[in-house]
Structure 1
Amino acid sequence: MPPVLAHNYQFEWVEDDLTYEPDEDTPLFKDGKLNTPYRNNWYLISRGAAILNDLDRLATLPANLILLDTGAIVPKEAEHMLALKQVHHVDFDDSEYLQDILEHNCFDGQQGSGLNPDNVSVSQSFTGDVRLDGHKTITVEGQFDNQRVPVLNWRTSTWDLYDTYFDMLPEIEVSGDVTPWFEIVLISSQNRGDMQRLTLDAAHFRDGLRIYTDNADQIMQVRLFAQGSGKISVGKIHVRISRNGFGELFPNGQRLVDTTDRNSELLSYFDAGDMKPPLMVYFSGYRTAEGFEANFLMQYFKSPFMIIGDPRLEGGAFYLGSDNLEQQVVDSIQEKLDALGFTHDQLVLSGLSMGTTGALYYSARLQPHAVVVGKPLVNLGNIAGNERINRPHGFPTSFDLMLNNQESVSKTGIEDMNKRFWDRFMAGHVSDTLYVLAYMLDDDYDGTAFPDLFRYLTSTFQGIRIWHKGLVGRHNDDTPGITNWFMRQILLIYAHDFGRVTEEG
C-alpha cells in the first residue's frame, strides 16, 4: 500500500525491511539490536513484513509503539512477544482511519492538567449549602429544581485546542434524588462566538467525555447543572490530550478507577523492555502536571517496568485509597508479573519522595525482591503537622491528603493518618526483601521516617538487609545527591542479583 503521512510528522514506508537503513551513519539495528536513537519511534508492521519472522530483531522493537496490520499473519512463536509489547491492531487498508491514527494518536509525550474545585464560582441564586474542602472537593447540597443557570461554573481556562482530541474526566459523587450533568462550551478565542456546546451526563461520568476541537484555537468553559434534591461533591476535573483509545496519556497507559470514591483514579503504564527479570515498578513523585514520571530513566535500565502515577488532589494523594483502589494497584502489578512469567522475588519497587510512600506501602502486600527509595515519607500525618512550625506554607497539600482520607486536621487526625501507613506496612512479611533507603538528615516533611523504618524492620525481621545513606539537608535540599545514589543502588542490584550490566546507549 502507499504511504499515509500525517501533516506534522515524518513517516517512511519501507518496501523491504530486510535491507532498509534510514541513515548510513546511524543504522536502524546495531549489533542485532534496535539502535538507541530510534527507541521512541513508532513502527508500522504490515502484512508480509519480514521482521515478523525475525524474532531477535522483533524483540528489540519498543513496546507500546507498534501498529500491526490486522491482515498480518503472526507466527505462533511471536504471539506472546507481541502481546507483551502491547501492539495496536489496525486495519491498514482503511487509509483514512490509519491517517487519523498517525495524526492524532501517535504523538510524543503527554499533556494533562486539572480544573481544581477551589477555582469555581457558585451560582448566586443557589440557596443550599456549599462546602469547600481545600483542593479535594466542592460540595453543594439542597434543592436544585429552581436553578435556571449553572450551579457551578469553573473559571474559564484557555487551551491550545487546535485540531486536537481531549478527554474530560470529572471526579464526582452524588447522593439523594438529584441528577447532575456537565455542559462544556468551546468558544472561539478570536471572535468569542460559541463553536461547540457538549453535554456529559451522569451515565457517562466514569468514562468521561471525548472532545474534538476542530481547526481553530478555542477556550473551554465547564459548567455543572442539576435537577432534583440532594448532594453533589465534585473534585478535580481531569483534562488531557486524548489518544482515542490508544491509552491514557502514554500509549497503552491505563486508568485504575475507584468507583467507590468519586471515580478518582491512579494511572498505570507498562513497558515490556527486554522481557527479562526484574520487573521494576516506579511510583511517580508529586507533580501538578498530570502524567507519568521518569519514563526515560526506566528505559535506561532496559528491563520491563511499570510506572504508577497519582493525579489526585493538587499533585498526588500518596497512593493511599479505598480497598477497591489499592487492590487494583496490587492486581495490575501481579498481572504483569504473571504475563512476564516472573515471581515476586523478581520484582523491584522504587520511588522518590511521594513515590516512596507507594513503594514502601505496597511492598507489604507484594513482598518484592527489593525496595529502592529516596527521601522516604511514611508518617503522612506528621507531614501535615510540620506545616505549622517546621515548614510553614511549604506543602499545604498535606492537609488535603488528610481530608482525602477522612481524617480531621487535628492532633488525633495526625495520629490516625500515620496509622494508615503503619497498619498496612506492619501486616506484611518482608523478611526476604532488601530495603534500600536514601534519606535527608534534616528532613522537614517526615523527619523520623528513616529511623522509624529502620527500628521496625530490624526489630521485627532477624537478619533483614537494609542499605542506607543519609545526606545533610531538608527534604528538597539535595535531590541530585539522592537521585544519584538511588540510580547507583539499582544498577548494583541489577548486576549482583540479576546478572545485568547496563551499558551506555
Structure 2
Amino acid sequence: MARKSNFIQIGGQPLEKAGDLNAELATYHYLPLSGVDLAQALDDLSAFPTEAVYNSGTIFLFADTTIDEFPMDQVLLLPADQIFYEASSQSDEQRWHLLKMKRAQQVDLNDGGQSLMAYVNDNTLTDPWGLTFENSRTQLSANFNGEVTRQGTSRYIFEGDYGTDYQRLILWNTHWQPAGKIILHAEIGATSGDVEYFYRVYYENEAGFQTWDFDEADLVNGYVQRDVAFLNYPLNVALFVKGSGRLVVGEIHLRNGSLAKENFLSVGGQRLVDDQHYHEELGYYFNPADLKPPLNVYFSGWRAKESYEGRWMMGSLGSPFILVFDPRIVGGAFYRGGTLEQQLVDVIQDKLDELGFTSDQLNLSGLSMGTYASLFYSTMLNPHGVVIGKPLASIGHLAIHQRLFTPYNWDLAMDTIISLTGELTEKSATAMDDDFWHRFLNTDYSKTTFIIAHMLQDTDLPFERIFNHLKEHYPTSRVLHKGLEGRHNDDTLGITSWFLKQYQNMLANDFGRNFQKDLELDEEDEVVTDQVAQKEHQNG
C-alpha cells in the first residue's frame, strides 16, 4: 500500500471542509502560527525528508499571507505542484520566482476549502492512468464503397464518398469498463476533400443507456471529458463521417478524467500536440527541484500505460528534471515526427533559459526507446551528457531484419516508419536510419560525455559505431560503457542498476552533487521489459 501523504495547513483558521480530503490517501494537519514551534512540527511530520526531498508527497497550504513569512531555505524545498497559498504580496522577487517555477497555486478559501479539497483529491492525490483502444478491435462499415487501407497496426486510411448524411464508418468494441470521470482523445485527420466527422461513445450506467458525441473542435480544444459513473458493460466508440475525400483514422486514447485540463497525464504534466498531423501528442513533466545545475531529461521507454516513467528516480537525483512520454502507437513512436520534434526542443531550451542554465548543463537520458530520443535530440541540443541503456539507433534496420534476427516483436519499428514516412519499404526504412546517422555523425560531441550500457547480443548494435566515431573524431569526449551478455531484455536489472550508478557518478564528479548512498529503483520506477509489457497490454 502506498504511503499516505500529509496535507499541512500553516496559519489561518482550520478548514471547515478538511474532512472532504480523501482520508485513505492523505492526513490533514493544522499548524497555527502561535503556540507551536513550526520548525519542530514540520520536522515531526517529516515534511522535508532528508532523502529524496523532491519526492515528498507532502501538500502545503499557506493560509492568509503566511507564504510571505516562510523561511526561504524551506521555500526551496517545497515540492512542485503541491503548494497552495491564500494570499501573497509578491514583493519578494526571489521568493515569487521560486514559487512560480514550482507552480504554486493561489486558492480562495471562502468556501471553507471545499473546492481546494476537491482539486487535491482529483489531481494531487490521483493515480494517473491511460491506455489505447487498438485498431485491431474494430468493425468497419460494410456500407462504405470507397477504398480502405490498413496502415500498420495503428491506422486506417479511407478514401471515397461517405454520403451527404452521416454514416457509421468504424466501431471500436472495447473490453474497457472505466468508472467516474474519463478523457478521450482521438488521432484523426482529413487530408483531402470536404470530410466531416464526429465520434459517438456508447455506454450504460445506472441511469440507463447513454451516448456522448465529440468532434474535431473538441479534439483541438484538447479536453474531451465526461463522468460516466459506474458502467454496466464496457464502453464502445463509433466514428460517423459524411462528405468525400481522404480520411486518416488513428487510435483512441482513454485516460483518467479527474485531472484538470492543465494537467496532462499527471498533476504538472503538459501536453504537446500537432494539430496538423492527426492531433498526435507528446507529454512532458518538468520539476525545478533545487534549481541548481544540471537539467536532466529522461525519455520513457516502451510503455503501454500512459504515464511518466522515472519520476522517483529522477527526483532522487536532486536536480531539475524533465520526464518525456510518447503515447502514440501503443507504447511510443520514438519521439519523432511532425512539429512535435521542434516543440520538444523548444520546451527543453525554454526550461534551460528559465533556470538560467546553458547547454553544457543539460543531460539527456533514457532506456530502450528512450535511448533513441536521447541520441536524436543530442544532435540539436549539444548536451553535457548522454546517459543511455540498451541503445537503439537504427529503427529501419530493426524493421527490416526483425523476422530473421530477433526473438522480440518489433512491429513498433515498422509502425513508426509508416507513421513518419507514410510507407513501409526497404527504401523508407533505410532513409530513416540515414537521416538519424547523418545528424549524429555531423554533430560536434567534443565536450559531451557518453555513458552507455548495452547488450552484447542485442538486435540493434549501435554501440560500436558510436564509440568508434567518437574516438576517431572527438578524442576529448568521454565514453563510459559496459556490455552485458544477452539480447535486448535479458538483463534489464543489470542495465538499469549500472545506468543509475553512473548517472549518480556523473552528477557528483561534474556538478558537485553529493549522494550519501547509491540510489535504487523505486517500485514505481521499475522498467518493465518491452516483451513482458506488451504481453500484459494485450492481455488487458
TM-score by length of 1: 0.91
Paired AA for residue 484 in structure 1: S
Of 47, 65, 70, which residue of structure 2 is paired with 1:28? 47
CA distance in 2, matches of 1:37, 1:355: 23
- CA shift, 1:121, in A, is 1.0
Of 116, 122, 135, which residue of structure 2 is paired with 1:104? 122
Of 289, 296, 301, which residue of structure 2 is paired with 1:285? 301
1:310 aligns with 2:297: no
- CA shift, 1:145, in A, is 1.9
CA distance in 1, matches of 2:172, 2:186: 12
Of 154, 160, 181, which residue of structure 1 is paired with 2:198? 181
Contact (CA 8 Å) 2:52, 2:318: kept in 1 or not? Answer: no
CA distance in 1, matches of 2:358, 2:42: 41
Of 123, 133, 138, which residue of structure 1 is paired with 2:156? 138
| Alignment correspondent of 1:482 | 495
Determine helix, strand or coil for the equivalent of 1:400: helix
Of 197, 204, 220, which residue of structure 2 is paired with 1:206? 220
Of 461, 466, 473, which residue of structure 2 is paired with 1:460? 473
| Alignment correspondent of 1:354 | 369
| Alignment correspondent of 2:230 | 216
| Alignment correspondent of 1:42 | 59
Contact (CA 8 Å) 1:27, 1:35: kept in 2 or not? Answer: no
Of 493, 511, 515, which residue of structure 2 is paired with 1:502? 515
Contact (CA 8 Å) 1:67, 1:90: kept in 2 or not? Answer: yes
Cα deviation, 1:186-238, whole Å, max 9, x if unaligned, reads 322x68x313x222122222234432325433543211111211122111212
What 5-or-longer segments of structure 1 have no aligned partner? none
Contact (CA 8 Å) 1:34, 1:60: kept in 2 or not? Answer: no
| Alignment correspondent of 2:7 | none
Paired AA for residue 386 in structure 1: H
1:81 aligns with 2:95: no
Computed over aligned residues only, the root mean square deviation of the Cα atoms, in angstroms, reads 2.4
Return 344-353 or 9-18, whichever deviates more.
9-18
Return 58-67 or 207-216, whichever deviates more.
207-216
Contact (CA 8 Å) 2:452, 2:480: kept in 1 or not? Answer: yes
CA distance in 2, matches of 1:22, 1:52: 16
Cα deviation, 1:379-416, whole Å, max 9, x if unaligned, reads 11111123111125522212111111216433323311
- CA shift, 1:157, in A, is 3.7
TM-score by length of 2: 0.86
CA distance in 2, matches of 1:245, 1:59: 27
| Alignment correspondent of 1:367 | 382
Contact (CA 8 Å) 2:457, 2:488: kept in 1 or not? Answer: yes
Paired AA for residue 346 in structure 2: D
Cα deviation, 1:422-459, whole Å, max 9, x if unaligned, reads 12223422211111111111112x02x00111122222
Paired AA for residue 314 in structure 1: V
Contact (CA 8 Å) 1:290, 1:311: kept in 2 or not? Answer: yes
Contact (CA 8 Å) 1:28, 1:34: kept in 2 or not? Answer: no
Paired AA for residue 466 in structure 2: L
Paired AA for residue 200 in structure 1: F
Determine helix, strand or coil for the equivalent of 2:173: strand
Determine helix, strand or coil for the equivalent of 2:188: strand
Of 292, 313, 335, which residue of structure 2 is paired with 1:297? 313
CA distance in 2, matches of 1:476, 1:23: 44
Return 381-390 or 41-50, whichever deviates more.
41-50
CA distance in 2, matches of 1:403, 1:232: 16
Cα deviation, 1:289-308, whole Å, max 9, x if unaligned, reads 11110101111101110011
Return 106-115 or 469-478, whichever deviates more.
106-115
Paired AA for residue 411 in structure 1: E
1:399-410 counterparts in 2 under 5 A?
399-406=414-421, 408-410=423-425
Contact (CA 8 Å) 2:262, 2:270: kept in 1 or not? Answer: no
Of 99, 113, 128, which residue of structure 1 is paired with 2:146? 128
Contact (CA 8 Å) 2:54, 2:315: kept in 1 or not? Answer: no
Q: 1:44 to 1:214 in 2, by over 3 A?
A: farther
1:472 aligns with 2:491: no
- CA shift, 1:25, in A, is 5.9
CA distance in 2, matches of 1:391, 1:453: 21
CA distance in 1, matches of 2:178, 2:299: 30
CA distance in 2, matches of 1:47, 1:312: 44
